[in-house]
Amino acid sequence: MSYNKKLKILSLIGAIFSLCLLMPDLLWAGEYLNSAHGSSAGAQRLTGYATGNCAHCHEMHASIAGSEPDPLGGPSPYTLFATNFNSGTSLPGSYLVADNFCFYCHSASTSVQPVANKDYSATFGGAATGVQSIMDAFNQPSSAEPNSYHDLAGIHTFAEGKFPWYSADSNPCNACHNPHMARKNYEDFLTPLSSAISKPSDHFNLWGDSEDNTETMATYSRYEAPYSDPISKKREPDGASVSDGVVNTGQGWKTPDYAGFCLDCHQYAVGSLLVINWGSGDKHGVVARDALVGATSDTSLDGRNPYEAVDHSTDNFVLSCLDCHEPHGSPNIMLLRRQVNGESVDVTSLDSMANLCARCHSSNWEYIHHLSEDHPYVKQAGQCNDCHAGDGGFPIFCGKCHFHGSDDSWVPIQKTTPPRKTF
What percentage of the chain carries pLDDT values higher than 70? 76
What percentage of the chain carries pLDDT values higher than 90? 32
Does position 257 have pLDDT exceeding 80, yes or no? yes
Does position 74 have pLDDT exceeding 80, yes or no? no
Q: Identify which of 233, 249, 230 has the alpha carbon closest to the alpha carbon of residue 241.
A: 233
CA distance linking residue 384 with residue 223, whole number of Å:
37
Average pLDDT, integer, range 216-223? 84
Confidence of residue 134 (pLDDT cuts 50, 70, 90): very high
Amino acid at 171: N
For residue range 193-205, what is the model confidence (pLDDT) as tens digits? 689 999 999 999 9
Confidence of residue 19 (pLDDT cuts 50, 70, 90): very low
At residue 282, the pLDDT reads: 80
Asked if 96 and 89 count as a contact pair (C-beta separation under 8 A), the reply is yes
The CA-atom distances, in angstroms, between 363 and each of 87, 131, 294, 357, 397 are 43, 30, 25, 8, 12
Three-class DSSP category at 146: coil
Does position 301 have pLDDT exceeding 70, yes or no? no
For residue range 277-293, what is the model confidence (pLDDT) as tens digits? 887 668 888 764 444 44
Average pLDDT, integer, range 55-71? 70
Confidence of residue 420 (pLDDT cuts 50, 70, 90): confident
Does position 294 have pLDDT exceeding 70, yes or no? no
